[in-house]
Amino acid sequence: MDIFCKIINRELSAEVVIEDKDFIVIKDIHPAAPVHVLIIPKKHLDIIHEISHEELDILGKMFVVAGQAAKKLGVEKTGYRLILNQGPNAGQLVPHLHLHLLAGKPLGSKIAS
């Protein structure tokens, strides 16, 4: 079981920003920006290119939840970056689909890991 599943199941603690029946948004423990949260589906999905048509609503809702998190964190007007890493060469450390939201400073054009 990966670390995100353990957080979702309350086996590990995390600083929760938003939670609903489908998603949990937590603060990243190693932030790459002043604001860095993870938008994590509660349903375990690990490989984006294997998501079925029945699971497409999860991807759409992930971006809606990201917008809600940006608003709650007060960065919806100044801007934020969303990053989805897939696989080890992309920098994915946890094999559970998740979206990074980074903000709170000018991020420039450098691609974050």
d(CA 14, CA 80): 22
98 is a catalytic site residue: yes
Question: Considering 36, 96, 98, 100, which one is annotated as catalytic?
Answer: 98
Q: Is the dihedral of CA 19, 44, 96, 58 positive or negative?
A: negative
Tokens linked to 16: 């929760």
In three-state secondary structure terms, 90 is helix
Active site residues: 98
